[in-house]
Amino acid sequence: MSKGNVLVTGGAGFLGSWLCDFLVREGFRVTCVDNLSSGDRKNLEHLDVEFIKHDARKPFNLGIKVDYIFHLASRASPADFQKYPVDILLTNSLGTYNVLKFAEQNNARFVLTSTSEVYGNPLQYPQNEDYWGNVNPIGPRSCYDESKRFSEALAMAFYRESGLDIRVGRIFNTYGERMRKDDGRVTPNLINQALRNEPITVYGDGSQTRSFCYVSDMVDGLTRLMFLESLRGEVINLGSPNEISILELAELIKGLVNTNSEIIFKPLPPDDPTRRKPDIAKAKQKLDWEPVISLEEGLARTIGFFRASQ
Ligand code: UDP
């Protein structure tokens, strides 16, 4: 018996398809909407989901009824921020509006996948949900940072104005199988360089930090955020609190792949956040959640995936 109808926007992407795996396994009826700009239909091939090719920037006249909506649709790689800034700004403004209107028509519970990028280059460490951030409004990352901030503001406006059951997850760096090889983000870049015995590119001196969460942990956090009761209007960080410098990450990947690659240093992109680590006290308290997969284990699985697709 179905537990209800779920819509996943961006369902053909890396995180979206993992989320669909979980939802199908749990007995939900799942519809995925994706324009396949950064997602891939192959990610859903093994799953019994309804797929609708649709761009979130267009109204959602989909002819379906849903109970729950996970809104993931957006390009999310910093490499894409340079190539598609207008697309990203409109997807996270007009697109989020269209999905929220659809949620309102369906009286559906709505999880917005927001981002640690709302904190910009943070001046507070670690970052908790009360921190308002340090964002350059006109810099090369602003298309993503500002539009995700707008998405949050819009979701909260719907929550306040029409009483929609809105929850916001601020996702920190997440990695795992099904990321795109050419995605441009640090984990797929470094792993694929190592597997090909090519130089491993560290931007800047590699002292900047991130905290990497394995994808199954992220799905666990997102689904708790959706399906637990009494979380209306809550904004919660989801990510790993285990901070590592990018140079340490490069060395770890080098060791796990057992490659001859050398580490080389390239210029640091402008506005690259210096230090990023979530405070997940709220997720622990409200969701009884914290990541359980170690970085070594998650990287080993991810390396296995990319090794098989070389
Ligand atoms: N980075 C790197 N080498 C690469 C790709 C990224 O050193 O080949 C760095 C990037 O400058 C940033 C960090 O790794 O400091 C994480 O980058 P990513 O694009 O994965 O995501 P971000 O956390 O910046 O959104």
- Give Cβ neighbours of residue 125 (< 8 Å, ≥ 6 apart): 275, 277
Per DSSP, 81 falls in state H
Whole-angstrom CA distances from 229 to 24, 70, 99, 232 are 21, 16, 22, 8
> How far apart, in whole angstroms, are the C-alpha atoms of residue 268 and residue 169?
28
Active site residue 144: yes
| From 144, 159, 175, 214, active-site residue | 144
Phi, psi of 194 (to 5 degrees): -65, -40
Q: Do the Cβ atoms of 254 and 194 come closer than 8 Å?
A: yes
Task: Convert the pLDDT of each residue in 206-230 to its tens digit.
Answer: 999 999 999 999 999 999 999 999 9
The confidence score (pLDDT) of residue 2 equals 74
> Which atom of ligand 1 is nearest the CA belonging to 268?
11
Tell me: the pLDDT tens digits for 54-79?
999 999 999 999 999 999 999 999 99
| Binding site membership of 116 for ligand 1 (Cβ less than 6 Å) | no
Residue type at position 128 = N
User: Domains (ranges, CATH) in the chain?
Assistant: 5-174+214-241+278-293 (3.40.50.720)
Q: Which residue has its alpha carbon closest to ligand 1 atom 18?
A: 185
Q: How confident is the model at residue 177 (pLDDT cuts 50, 70, 90)?
A: very high
Q: In angstroms, what CA-CA distances link 269 with 79, 116, 157, 208, 273? A: 10, 18, 34, 12, 10
> What is the residue-averaged pLDDT of the chain?
97
Q: What is the pTM of this model?
A: 0.98
* Mean pLDDT within 87-112: 98
pLDDT at 255: 97
CA of 207 to the centre of ligand 1 (A): 11
DSSP 117-172: GGGBS-SSSSB-TT---B--TTSTTHHHHHHHHHHHHHHHHHHHHH---EEEEEE-
pLDDT recorded at residue 167: 98
| pLDDT mean over 244-272 | 97
Beta carbon of 210 within 6 Å of any ligand 1 atom: yes
Ligand 1 centroid to 97 CA: how many Å?
29
Nearest residue (by CA) to ligand 1, atom 3, is 202
Pocket test for ligand 1, best of 174, 186, 192, 274 (most atoms within 8 A of CB): 186
Report how far residue 137's alpha carbon sits from residue 132's, in angstroms, rounded to the nearest whole number: 14
The pLDDT of residue 188: 98
Q: How confident is the model at residue 1 (pLDDT cuts 50, 70, 90)?
A: low
- Measured in Å, residue 189 CA sits from the centre of ligand 1 at 9
Pick from 96, 239, 84, 234: nearest CA to 167: 234
